[in-house]
Structure 1
Amino acid sequence: MIILKIIGCTLIVLSSSLIGYIYGKSYKERLENLIYLENCIKILETEIMYGANPLPEALENVYKKGNKKVSFIFNRISQALKEHKSGEVLECFLMVSDTMKKNLNFKKEDVEVFTNLGRTIGSSNRKDQEKSFKLILAQIKALQKEARLEKEKNEKMFKNLGFLSGLAIVIILL
C-alpha cells in the first residue's frame, strides 16, 4: 500500500511539474519565434528591395533561407499568391494568422504587426516599402523586448508553480 502511495505521489508531482514546464516553455518559444520572424522579414526586405524579385518568388526564397520553424509561413503565403492569381496580398497574409497563433505561440499583437506587412507590401513604391520594412522591424524589436521581459518573469514562475502545486496536492492527499 505504501508503494502505491509513493508511486501516486510521484506521478502527481511529475505531471504537475510537466504542465508547469510546458506553460513556461511557451514564453521562451514566443521570443525565439519573434527573433526568427525578424530574420525572415530582413531576408524578405533584401529579396524585394535589392534582389527586385517578384513577391511570390521572394517569399519562396525567404522560406528556403530562413529558419524553417517560422519561414514555412512565407511558403504558405507564396503558394496562396500563386493559386489566387488575383494578387490580393493581405488576404494571403491573413490566411496564416491562425497558424501563427497556434503553432508559433504568437499573441494577437505579433500577428497584427505581421499582417501590417501584408497591407503595405506590393501595394506601394520602393521608398514606401522600405519605410514600411523599417517600421515593422522596429515594431518586432519592441515585441521582442516585451517577450523577453515576459519570459524572464513568467517562465521560471510557471516551472516552480507546477512543481509546488503538485507538492501541495500530494500533501493534501496524505
Structure 2
Amino acid sequence: MILKLIGSILIVLSSSLIGYIYGKSYKERLENLIYLENCIKILETEIMYGASPLPEALENVYNKGNQKVSFIFALISKALKKNKDGDVLECFLTVVENMKKDLNLKKEDIEVFLNLGRTIGSSGRKDQEKNFKLILAQIKALQKEARLEKEKNEKLFKNLGFLSGLAIVIILL
C-alpha cells in the first residue's frame, strides 16, 4: 500500500515537473525578447550617439545589458575582432545556435535579429536610425505574440502535466 502511494506521488510529481518545464519555456521566451530589445536599444545608443566602432559597441552592450541575453553580443564582438575583413552578418550567424538553444527563441525571433546584422553599418546615419526603429518595432510585435502564447500555454502545460500524472495514477490503480 505504501509502495503504491509513493509510486503514485512520484508519477504525479514527475509529470507535473515536465508540464512546468514546458510552460516555463514560454515565459523565458518573453523575458529574453524583452532583454533583447533592451540590448538593441543600448546598441543603438552606442552607435548613433556614442559613435563607437561596432566591436566596441557590442562589448558595451554586453557590459550594460542583462547578461542572460547580452552574452550573444560579446560573441559577435569576438567574431568581428577575429575576422576583421569578414561580413557583419557572418558574425551574427555565429550566434544563431546559441539563440535557439540558450534563449528559447523561435525562428522568426532570430530572423529579426539577423536583420539587424544585415543592416548594421551598411548605410548612412539616418538609414541606420530607421533600421533600428523598424527592428525594435518588430521585436515589440514578437513580444506581444509571445505574451499571448505565454498566457495561453503556460497554465495549460502546467495543468496538463499534473492532470496527466493523475490520470496515469488512476489508470494504474
> Same fold judged by TM-score > 0.5?
yes
User: In the TM superposition, what whole-angstrom CA distance separates every residue of 1:23-56 from its partner, at most 9, and x where no partner exists?
Assistant: 0000000000000000000000000000000000
Matched residue, 1:31: 30
How much has 1:85 moved relative to structure 2? Answer: 1.1
Report the CA distance between 1:86 and its aligned residue. 1.1
* Distance across 1 between alignment mates of 2:139 and 2:88: 20
Q: Percent identity?
A: 86
Which string of whole-angstrom CA distances, capped at 9 and with x for unpartnered residues, describes residues 108-146 of structure 1?
000000000000001111111110000000000000000
Q: 1:127 to 1:87 in 2, by over 3 A?
A: farther
1:87 offset after TM fit, Å? 3.5
Amino acid of the residue matched to residue 139 of structure 2?
A: I
1:161 aligns with 2:163: no
Partner of 2:141: 142
**Displacement, 1:150?**
0.2
In the other structure, the counterpart of 1:59 is: 58
Given residue 117 of structure 1, which amino acid in structure 2 is its aligned partner?
Answer: L
User: Given residue 16 of structure 2, which amino acid in structure 1 is its aligned partner?
Assistant: S
5 Å-filtered alignment, 1:6-155, equals: 6-155=5-154
The match for 1:171 is 170
What runs of 5+ residues in structure 1 fail to find an aligned partner? none
Cα RMSD of the aligned pairs, angstroms, is: 0.5
Deviation at 1:98, TM superposition (A): 1.2
Separation in 2, partners of 1:86, 1:123 = 14
In 1, the alpha carbon distance for the partners of 2:121 and 2:96 equals: 19
- 2:86 & 2:107 partners in 1: Cα distance? 25
When normalised by structure 1's length, the TM-score is 0.99
> For residue 27 of structure 2, what is the amino acid of its counterpart?
K
Aligned residues: 173
Structure 1: distance between partners of 2:133 and 2:33: 16
TM-score, normalization by structure 2: 0.99
**Which runs of at least 4 in structure 1 moved beyond 6 Å after TM superposition?**
none
Q: Give me the whole-angstrom Cα distance separating, in 2, the residues matched to 1:95 and 1:131.
A: 25
The one-letter amino acid of 2:73's match is F
**Which residue type is aligned with residue 171 of structure 1?**
I
